Structure 1
Amino acid sequence: MADGEKKQLLHLVFGGELKDLESMDFRDLDALDIVGIFPNYAKALDAWKSKAQMTVDNAHMRYFIVHMHRMLDPHDDSKTAS
Protein backbone atom coordinates (compact mmCIF):
# COMPACT_ATOMS: atom_id res chain seq x y z
CA MET A 1 0.00 0.00 0.00
CA ALA A 2 1.36 3.42 -0.92
CA ASP A 3 2.26 5.96 1.75
CA GLY A 4 -0.74 8.04 2.75
CA GLU A 5 -3.20 5.54 1.26
CA LYS A 6 -5.79 4.43 3.79
CA LYS A 7 -6.77 0.80 4.26
CA GLN A 8 -10.18 -0.13 2.98
CA LEU A 9 -12.54 -0.76 5.86
CA LEU A 10 -15.42 -2.38 4.02
CA HIS A 11 -18.92 -2.19 5.49
CA LEU A 12 -22.08 -3.94 4.26
CA VAL A 13 -25.48 -2.31 4.73
CA PHE A 14 -28.54 -4.54 4.48
CA GLY A 15 -31.99 -4.86 5.92
CA GLY A 16 -35.20 -6.77 6.04
CA GLU A 17 -38.42 -7.30 7.86
CA LEU A 18 -38.09 -9.11 11.18
CA LYS A 19 -40.51 -11.87 12.25
CA ASP A 20 -41.02 -10.09 15.55
CA LEU A 21 -39.44 -7.21 17.42
CA GLU A 22 -37.80 -9.47 20.01
CA SER A 23 -35.69 -11.49 17.56
CA MET A 24 -33.15 -11.09 14.80
CA ASP A 25 -34.94 -13.58 12.55
CA PHE A 26 -35.99 -12.22 9.18
CA ARG A 27 -39.49 -12.86 7.85
CA ASP A 28 -38.30 -13.62 4.29
CA LEU A 29 -34.61 -14.15 3.50
CA ASP A 30 -35.31 -13.88 -0.23
CA ALA A 31 -36.60 -10.35 0.33
CA LEU A 32 -33.53 -8.97 2.13
CA ASP A 33 -32.53 -5.54 0.87
CA ILE A 34 -28.80 -5.49 0.14
CA VAL A 35 -28.10 -1.76 0.09
CA GLY A 36 -24.42 -2.07 -0.75
CA ILE A 37 -20.81 -2.32 0.34
CA PHE A 38 -19.13 0.90 1.38
CA PRO A 39 -15.44 1.84 1.77
CA ASN A 40 -15.75 3.22 5.29
CA TYR A 41 -18.12 3.47 8.24
CA ALA A 42 -19.16 7.06 7.54
CA LYS A 43 -20.49 6.24 4.08
CA ALA A 44 -22.17 3.09 5.39
CA LEU A 45 -23.82 5.10 8.15
CA ASP A 46 -25.17 7.60 5.61
CA ALA A 47 -26.69 4.75 3.58
CA TRP A 48 -28.09 3.13 6.73
CA LYS A 49 -29.72 6.38 7.87
CA SER A 50 -31.28 6.93 4.46
CA LYS A 51 -32.81 3.44 4.31
CA ALA A 52 -33.92 3.52 7.94
CA GLN A 53 -35.65 6.84 7.36
CA MET A 54 -37.46 5.51 4.28
CA THR A 55 -38.87 2.58 6.26
CA VAL A 56 -39.65 4.35 9.53
CA ASP A 57 -43.38 3.52 9.22
CA ASN A 58 -42.70 -0.24 9.31
CA ALA A 59 -41.74 -1.19 12.88
CA HIS A 60 -40.53 -4.62 11.77
CA MET A 61 -38.13 -3.31 9.13
CA ARG A 62 -34.53 -3.08 10.31
CA TYR A 63 -31.27 -2.15 8.62
CA PHE A 64 -27.82 -3.16 9.80
CA ILE A 65 -24.18 -2.27 9.22
CA VAL A 66 -21.79 -5.22 9.09
CA HIS A 67 -18.08 -4.50 9.59
CA MET A 68 -16.85 -6.75 6.79
CA HIS A 69 -13.22 -5.77 7.31
CA ARG A 70 -13.35 -7.38 10.76
CA MET A 71 -14.69 -10.61 9.28
CA LEU A 72 -12.18 -10.68 6.42
CA ASP A 73 -9.17 -10.26 8.71
CA PRO A 74 -10.21 -10.75 12.36
CA HIS A 75 -6.60 -10.90 13.61
CA ASP A 76 -5.58 -7.45 12.32
CA ASP A 77 -6.04 -5.18 15.36
CA SER A 78 -5.20 -2.09 13.29
CA LYS A 79 -8.65 -2.32 11.69
CA THR A 80 -10.68 -1.96 14.87
CA ALA A 81 -11.49 1.71 14.28
CA SER A 82 -14.73 2.39 12.47
Structure 2
Amino acid sequence: MTETGEKKQLLHLVFGGELQSLEGLQFKDLSALDIVGIYPDYASALVAWRGKAQQTVDNAHMRYFIVHMHRLLDPDTKSA
Protein backbone atom coordinates (compact mmCIF):
# COMPACT_ATOMS: atom_id res chain seq x y z
CA MET A 1 0.00 0.00 0.00
CA THR A 2 1.09 3.56 -0.63
CA GLU A 3 1.00 6.42 1.87
CA THR A 4 -2.49 7.34 0.62
CA GLY A 5 -3.78 3.79 1.16
CA GLU A 6 -3.86 2.89 -2.54
CA LYS A 7 -2.60 -0.45 -3.78
CA LYS A 8 0.98 -0.01 -5.03
CA GLN A 9 1.41 -0.37 -8.79
CA LEU A 10 3.71 -3.21 -9.70
CA LEU A 11 4.13 -2.58 -13.42
CA HIS A 12 4.64 -5.53 -15.77
CA LEU A 13 5.42 -5.44 -19.50
CA VAL A 14 4.16 -8.20 -21.81
CA PHE A 15 5.92 -8.54 -25.15
CA GLY A 16 6.97 -11.20 -27.61
CA GLY A 17 8.45 -12.04 -30.94
CA GLU A 18 9.85 -14.74 -33.13
CA LEU A 19 13.12 -16.26 -31.94
CA GLN A 20 16.02 -17.15 -34.23
CA SER A 21 16.29 -20.61 -32.67
CA LEU A 22 14.54 -22.66 -30.02
CA GLU A 23 17.73 -22.83 -27.95
CA GLY A 24 18.25 -19.09 -27.46
CA LEU A 25 16.61 -15.80 -26.69
CA GLN A 26 17.74 -13.86 -29.77
CA PHE A 27 14.83 -12.37 -31.71
CA LYS A 28 14.68 -12.82 -35.47
CA ASP A 29 13.54 -9.22 -36.14
CA LEU A 30 13.54 -6.58 -33.37
CA SER A 31 11.39 -4.25 -35.44
CA ALA A 32 8.65 -6.91 -35.46
CA LEU A 33 8.41 -7.31 -31.66
CA ASP A 34 4.84 -7.38 -30.40
CA ILE A 35 4.47 -5.02 -27.44
CA VAL A 36 1.25 -6.31 -25.89
CA GLY A 37 1.07 -3.74 -23.08
CA ILE A 38 1.98 -2.59 -19.60
CA TYR A 39 -0.15 -3.89 -16.73
CA PRO A 40 -0.56 -2.73 -13.11
CA ASP A 41 -0.02 -6.16 -11.56
CA TYR A 42 1.25 -9.64 -12.34
CA ALA A 43 -2.21 -11.22 -12.47
CA SER A 44 -3.43 -9.00 -15.32
CA ALA A 45 -0.11 -9.36 -17.14
CA LEU A 46 -0.42 -13.15 -16.89
CA VAL A 47 -3.89 -13.04 -18.47
CA ALA A 48 -2.53 -11.00 -21.39
CA TRP A 49 0.52 -13.27 -21.73
CA ARG A 50 -1.63 -16.43 -21.80
CA GLY A 51 -3.90 -14.94 -24.46
CA LYS A 52 -1.02 -14.05 -26.77
CA ALA A 53 0.83 -17.32 -26.14
CA GLN A 54 -2.30 -19.31 -27.02
CA GLN A 55 -2.81 -17.31 -30.22
CA THR A 56 0.68 -18.25 -31.43
CA VAL A 57 0.85 -21.85 -30.19
CA ASP A 58 1.33 -23.17 -33.75
CA ASN A 59 4.62 -21.24 -34.18
CA ALA A 60 7.28 -22.90 -32.01
CA HIS A 61 9.65 -19.95 -32.50
CA MET A 62 7.17 -17.37 -31.20
CA ARG A 63 7.63 -16.51 -27.51
CA TYR A 64 6.00 -14.04 -25.15
CA PHE A 65 7.51 -12.77 -21.92
CA ILE A 66 6.48 -10.91 -18.77
CA VAL A 67 9.00 -8.34 -17.55
CA HIS A 68 8.74 -7.13 -13.94
CA MET A 69 9.22 -3.43 -14.70
CA HIS A 70 8.72 -2.42 -11.08
CA ARG A 71 11.91 -4.32 -10.20
CA LEU A 72 13.84 -2.33 -12.80
CA LEU A 73 12.36 0.98 -11.67
CA ASP A 74 12.90 0.34 -7.96
CA PRO A 75 15.43 -2.48 -7.47
CA ASP A 76 15.40 -2.12 -3.67
CA THR A 77 11.71 -3.07 -3.42
CA LYS A 78 11.11 -6.55 -1.98
CA SER A 79 7.67 -7.05 -3.60
CA ALA A 80 6.67 -9.71 -6.15
How would you bin the TM-score normalised by the shorter chain? over 0.9
Deviation per CA, 1:2-54, whole angstroms, max 9, x where unpaired? 12x11000000000000000000000000000000000000000000000000
TM-score by length of 1: 0.92
Output the CA distance in 2 between the equivalents of 1:54 and 1:12. Answer: 18
TM score, norm. by length of structure 2: 0.94
The reply on whether 1:58 has 2:62 as its aligned counterpart is no
Match of 1:71 in 2: 72
Q: Which runs of 5+ in 1 are unaligned?
A: none
* Partner in structure 1 of residue 31 of structure 2: 30
How many equivalent residue pairs? 78
Percent identical pairs in the alignment equals: 72
Q: Work out the CA distance in 2 between the residues paired with 1:44 and 1:76.
A: 19
CA-based RMSD: 0.7
Structure 2: gaps (5+ residues): none
Aligned to 1:42: 43
